[in-house]
Structure 1
Amino acid sequence: MITESHGALPPPHSDAALRAAAVELEATFLAEMLKSGGLAKAPAGFGGGAGEEQFQSILVGEQARMIARAGGIGLAETLFRALTEAES
């Protein structure tokens, strides 16, 4: 097993693991919301084809992760609290 000191994932039932899972779930939700809002659509002037569509999806996913890690919309914190309460 990879240890935390080497930058690996925390133990599966630790608060850090639950928080990381909650942030990732919020990022996934935000990515879908951004895509629905049209952020994932490339401007007509680029014309990059299928490759552009792939990278646009990756960009939206990373933007969503950054939003979630910066505090997001509060969904991750709500999920984290619910998970820790359920564990108690």
Structure 2
Amino acid sequence: MLAASKIGTPREAFGGGAGEDAFASFILDAHAEALVSRRGFGLSEHIFRSLVEASDG
């Protein structure tokens, strides 16, 4: 999911190059670990509440 969202993908604004390509996977892993430790970012809870509200109406 994070790879598809382009998190960890080197940006051209930083000049690119082999260094950024080499460390992009580390950035992606760090973001994934942070999300896991925080138990996600709350999207599923928001979707669930929206569905409950829609079914009540």
Instruction: Provide the TM-score with structure 2 as the length reference.
Output: 0.57
1:67 aligns with 2:43: no
Quote the sequence identity (%): 32
Distance 1:72 1:63 in 2: 11
Would you say how many aligned residue pairs link Structure 1 and Structure 2? Answer: 41
Deviations 1:36-64 (A, max 9, x none): 11112222111231211121210110111
Q: CA RMSD in A?
A: 1.6
Alignment of 1:1-20 (within 5 A): none
Which residue of 3, 8, 11 corresponds with 1:43?
A: 11
- Structure 1: runs of 5 or more not aligned: 1-32, 74-88
Report the Cα distance in structure 2 between the residues aligned to 1:41 and 1:47, rounded to whole angstroms: 13
Which residues of structure 2 form unaligned runs of 5+? 42-57
Moved over 3 A (4+): none
